[in-house]
A and B are shown apart, each in its own frame.
Chain A
Amino acid sequence: MLKRYKRLGYIFLFLLVQSLFAQNALAELKIVITEGVNTARPIGILPFRWEGSGTPPSSISDIVAADLTRSGQFTPVAENQLPQTPMDINSIDFKAWTAKGIDSLLMGSVNSNASGQYVVNFKLVDLAKGHLIEEEKADAASQNVLLLNNQGIITGPQVRNFAHRVSDLVYEKLTGKKGAFLTRIAYVVVKDSGTYPYQLMVADYDGYNEKQIVRSKEPIMSPNWSPDGKKIAYVSFENKHSQIFIQDVATGKREVIASYPRHNGSPHFSPDGSKLAIVLSKSGSLQVYIYDLQTKNLTKLTSGRANNTEPFWFPDGRHLIFTSDRSGHPQIYKLDLATKQTQRITWQGDQNLGGQISPNGKEMIMVSQIQSHYNIAKQDLTSGVVQVLTKTKLDESPSLAPNGSMIIYSSIYGHNNVLSLVSIDGRFKARLPMANGRVRSPTWSPFLQ
């Protein structure tokens, strides 16, 4: 009797082991992919359908397509290349899209309501998922394929901002990174005539909705946004010598921060907004100082006979970079605020200046002079590898988008300084539409709420 149980136990054990073995046989085959094609990701953007009466607002889908293109990471598929223009998700032929490598589709509609507002509905469709659901013969119209399904009610003037918001959402959904399309830029416009040839302007990142915040008969230079995006520090010569101001963008209220003898320049907010790195020449050559906005203390960081200027904070707030000509030509140096140790970090190119550290602290953007050309270049701070991003001749004052995906800079086009944009990978370059006059010193705002 006991023997029989024992025997049954063995049989049971055998079956158990067999089942384990069977699972082993289903082990996956491993394929390792180490290469790819270096191109932007295609995305389908259908023109948002106008369902209201009267004239439709400016095209939201066009603004979104332009935004995503400027990031360098997306290629909206041209309208005549779209495999189909489905009216809703039920009529999407998923495989037709994925066969072209398009794995996401933005579609939407705009209607007008009784109070004259626009009602915008938009959906971001995961075509890859749709393809796979279809493969399983499941209900493709299930809500699973929707990455975004939002509605917004806006007024006419809000259309552009709303479109940038859509871009931000799509960008974040597809890349996992925050979009920087709903941001602003500040820059100085220099006109050849008029009572106030120098104007400090603020506009959407793409150059639209331009507003003047300061005008002057004397030069205005080096605007810099506070980390909360509410204030701008800048240099003005309106009182016949350089002074550093901080101005509230919304109210226009401002105060003088520095008015020392000789030069007062290059203000730059610390990441926490409590300090301002500035450049003074009261002791002779240009030197970098830190001005504490709370205690009003001034700390000198650099010394010597050489000029040290253009301070820029590392995101950690514990290091600064600045441009110095101590080696004979302008090069960029890194300063450890705790140890006061300085270290040269640019070694390629005849000159390197205007350094900007990326939000992740891993890359530096700068103006690099190579054989009489001044171009925007990117240096990997770990490997030291430098990639020149632009091909124009006299690029200056680069400024990074708060998500590090795009760079805005001033370059020469025709005989004018124009506002230009390049994606961080150098893939996409564009000039931004601007008012008359030369555009200098563009600076990108932080993320705005």
Chain B
Amino acid sequence: MKKRNTYINATFLSIVLHVVLIAALVFGGFYSATKMPSASSQKINDQSSVEPIKAVAIDPVMIQREALKLKRKKENQARKEKEEKQRLAAETQALERQKKEAQEKIKILKEQRIAEEKKVQAAQAKREAEKKALEEKQRVKIEKEKQAKLEKQRQQKLAEQKKAAERMKKEQEEKAAKEAAMLAKKKAAAAKEKARQERVKQEAMLDSLFNEIDSETASRNNVKTKVVAQQVARNAAIFQNMIQQKLRINDSMKGKQCQLSLNLSNNGVVYRVEHPTGDAALCSAAQAAVLEVGQFPMPTDPAVVKEMKNIRLVVEPR
């Protein structure tokens, strides 16, 4: 609207100016013209009563030219103005557009930034989550390892305990065997001592008769006896255990005693159970236990076997 107003104003101004210009040109022509056109004279005549106009004759073509010139100028101006206006408008528009575009851009940028931020946040969250997950994983792993370690330790401990128990058992067994061995040894030693004494006596008596003593053989026998005694003791402990596992007793047998002789074959089969003395029921139980065992494991060494074949079994439940 405003634009239109300015446009009208400009046009109006333009017309006014054109009129003034034409007027000026007309009067200028009259003053400057030396000769007055005829037509004009008539007019002058008409106006003879008024102050004469000191006009110069004006060439209409010139006027027309001038007018055209003016008109063109004006048109030029108007066009220029219009162009200017258009330019301005375009500029404004462009500016506005630019502004708009800028805003748009800003908006987009903003959005982009937000999106970016969101992305960053998401990324961060994700990272954090991942981190956490990793941490958890590691924690679990550590925990697992810890547990595994503990379990391993426990197992180890158990194994150690078992080992210790076994060791203890073994030690006990060894001790029992040792004790039995000691006993056997003692017995053997006693027997040997007796034998030795006998022999010394005999040797002393026979010294003059058979002037020879094979001391070397004696010492060799000594070592051999020791080894045999050990093996006998170990086997005796095994026999004892086997019989105890089969011996059925009751309370009334506690404190009572039964002794019996046991004869084994070379391969340990119970060959004879003889001379039971003591509580009859206990003796029956002992005999049944021995026969239930049936065959005792025999060592390979014939010297040991010889010692194991005749056994005096003393049964006294406590």
Contact = CB atoms under 8 A, between A and B. Distances in A.
Q: Do these two chains interact? A: yes
A21 B195 contact: yes
A10 B207 CA distance: 10
A174 B209 contact: no
B310 A29 contact: yes
A35 B261 CA distance: 18
B243 interface: yes
Contacts of A177: 281
Given A28-B311, A30-B312, A33-B247, A98 B291 contact: yes
Contact of A98 (B249, B294, B307): B294
B205 A36 contact: no
A24 B272 CA distance: 20
B59 interface: no
Interface in B274-299: 279-281, 284-289, 291-292, 294
Interface in A29-67: 29-42
B281 A128 contact: no
Contacts of A37: 245-249
Interface residues of A, number: 48
A256 interface: no
A20 B317 contact: no
Contacts of A260: none
A37 B269 CA distance: 23
Interface in A167-216: 174-177
Interface in B207-258: 209, 232, 236, 239-240, 243-253
Interface string A10-32: 11011001001100111111111
A132 interface: yes
A448 interface: no
A329 interface: no
Nearest to B202: A17
A425 interface: yes
B250 A24 contact: no
A177 B281 CA distance: 9
A35 B292 contact: no
B316 A32 contact: yes
A344 interface: no
A11 to B, nearest CB: 8
A17 B198 contact: yes
A188 to B, nearest CB: 32
A101 interface: yes
Consensus secondary structure, chain A interface: mixed
A130 to B, nearest CB: 10
Contacts of A73: 250
B206 A14 contact: yes
A175 B316 contact: no
A27 B191 contact: yes
Nearest to A174: B284
A14 B206 CA distance: 8
A420 B272 CA distance: 44
Interface string A100-113: 11111000000000
Given A7-B209, A17-B202, A103-B291, A36 B248 contact: yes
B314 interface: yes
B318 interface: yes
B25 interface: no
A135 B267 CA distance: 13
B315 A33 contact: yes
A29 B308 contact: yes
Interface string B113-133: 000000000000000000000
A99 interface: yes
Nearest to A380: B251
B184 interface: yes
A26 B310 contact: yes
A131 interface: yes
A35 B318 contact: yes
A375 to B, nearest CB: 18
A101 B316 contact: no
A136 interface: yes
Contacts of A425: 250-252
B70 interface: no
B194 interface: yes
A319 interface: no
Contact of B273 (A25, A72, A132, A175): A132
B270 interface: yes
Given A33-B244, A95-B294, A136-B271, A41 B285 contact: yes
Given A24-B191, A128-B273, A35 B244 contact: yes
Contacts of A427: 250
Q: Which 3 A-B pairs have the closest CB atoms?
A: A36-B247, A36-B249, A103-B288
Interface of B: 183-184, 187, 191, 194-195, 198-199, 201-202, 205-206, 209, 232, 236, 239-240, 243-253, 261, 269-273, 279-281, 284-289, 291-292, 294, 307-308, 310-318
Given A17-B198, A32-B314, A36-B285, 13 more contacts: A17-B201, A21-B198, A31-B313, A33-B286, A36-B249, A36-B253, A39-B248, A40-B250, A41-B248, A42-B248, A73-B250, A99-B294, A132-B271
23 contacts: A21-B195, A24-B194, A24-B195, A26-B310, A28-B312, A30-B187, A31-B313, A33-B247, A36-B244, A37-B249, A38-B250, A98-B288, A98-B292, A98-B294, A99-B291, A99-B294, A101-B289, A102-B288, A103-B284, A128-B287, A132-B270, A132-B272, A174-B281
